[in-house]
Amino acid sequence: MTLSIGLLAKAADVKVPTIRFYEEIGLLPEPQRAANDRRVYDVGAVRRLAFIRHARQLGFSVEAIRNLLDLSDNPERPCGEANALAARQLDDVEAKIAQLETLRGELRRMVAATCDGRAADCRVIEALAG
Amino acid sequence: MTLSIGLLAKAADVKVPTIRFYEEIGLLPEPQRAANDRRVYDVGAVRRLAFIRHARQLGFSVEAIRNLLDLSDNPERPCGEANALAARQLDDVEAKIAQLETLRGELRRMVAATCDGRAADCRVIEALAG
DNA sequence: CTTGATCCTCTAGTGGCTAGAGGATGCATG
DNA sequence: CATGCATCCTCTAGCCACTAGAGGATCAAG
């Protein structure tokens, strides 16, 4: 059972050009080509692409994903690196959340003080200026 | 009292090329030039740049900041737009926080299940693949 | 046989800067 | 007054992870 790029895209819920892009940067291997030069994928490609997509959704960079795929491709290697990557990613996410919560606080104060007059007296503008 | 671009950068805690960039995209007006062609700023530029910097830190896009600056420049205009922008920004931030909290949960599970064996049995890899 | 979807390659654009080349000027020290 | 280093100028290119579009070939359905 083989898939066209369009079917692969649907199967992994990724856009077609994104697949070509991942191939270009080496996250996906160059697939076989049919006689008409079209890319032909197998089920392994769906798994790999889903892996990438999931990792991207978790905020892993392409570089991190490259490492994770590398480990996934070499199951006999120790997985310390994968743990480290996940831990670092968790740190990043927690830092981002903390920062966004600060922003949320400030924005809430701005929004709560909503004014209906002229910009001259606008709390939002004021908050940004001050 | 006037400032060089370097002093303005220090005063507003922004890098020099960023100032030139903001000028290029029209967030900052073209400043006067000294005889030697160097940019010369006044105190108003510090306020404007600080406004921009603060808004960027809050996650406002350049387009949103353009609108906010426009309002700030025309204080007789109603400030409904500023309120709307702030509200939208707050929504965005809250959505981002919610998404990141989901990711955090997943990453925490991955990290908690840390394994010390081979990648073949790695929970992190497994979680990404599954 | 025609229509519309899908595929191909290639180039350029997005946002918000950042880095670097290559050169002119300014300021402090010897 | 010379030296050397900081700062300034313009311009181009790069970052990340895609996305959009041109221009053309091929395919499947009616």
pLDDT surpasses 80 at B117? no
If asked whether residues A9 and A37 sit together in one domain, one would say yes
Distances (CA, A) of B97 to A100, B27, B56: 7, 28, 17
pLDDT at B15: 96
Percent of chain B, pLDDT > 70? Answer: 100
Indicate the pLDDT class of residue B116, thresholds 50, 70 and 90.
Answer: confident
* A129 and A72 within one domain: no
pLDDT per residue as tens digits for the range A82-95: 899 999 999 999 99
Q: How far is A30 from chain B (nearest CA, A)?
A: 20
Residues A4, A45 within the same domain: yes
- Judge if A108 and A68 occupy the same domain: no
In chain B, what residues touch A121 (CB-CB under 8 Å)?
79
Mark yes or no for CB contact B115/A78 under 8 Å: no
Answer yes or no: is A33 CB < 7 A from strand D.
Answer: no
Per-residue pLDDT of chain A (130 residues; tens, 9 = 90+): 899 999 999 999 999 999 999 999 999 999 999 999 999 999 999 999 999 999 999 899 999 999 999 999 988 888 888 899 999 999 999 999 999 999 999 999 988 887 777 777 888 888 898 7
Could you tell me which residues come within 8 angstroms of residue A42 by beta carbon, excluding any fewer than 6 positions away?
A1, A2, A3
The pLDDT score that the predictor gives to residue B57 is: 92
Q: How far is A118 from chain B (nearest CA, A)?
A: 4
Asked if A5 and A66 sit in the same domain, the reply is yes
Q: Are residues A95 and A73 in the same domain?
A: no
In sequence order, the 6+-apart residues with CB closer than 8 A to the CB of B43 are B1, B3
CA A21 to C1' C14 (Å) is 16
Q: How many domains does chain B have?
A: 1
| Domain, as residue range, for A112 | 90-130
Strand D and chain B: which residues 5-34 have CB closer than 7 Å? Answer: 5-7, 9, 16-17, 20
Closest Cβ–Cβ partner in A51, A79, A111 for B87: A111
For position A130, what pLDDT does the model report?
77
With a cut of 90, say whether residue B13 has pLDDT above it: yes
What CATH number is attached to the domain comprising A29? 1.10.1660.10
The residue lying closest to nucleotide C18, measuring its CA against C1', is: B17
- A94/A54 same-domain check: no
Contact A107 B86 (CB under 8 A): yes
Query: Assign residue A13 a region: left if phi > 0, alpha if psi is -120 to 50, beta otherwise?
Result: left
Other CB atoms closer than 10 Å to residue A49's CB: what's the count? 22
Protein-proximal nucleotides of chain D (any atom < 7 Å from a CB): 7-11, 16-21, 26-27
B129, A103: Cβ pair inside 8 Å? no
The two beta strands, A39-40 and B32-33, are unpaired
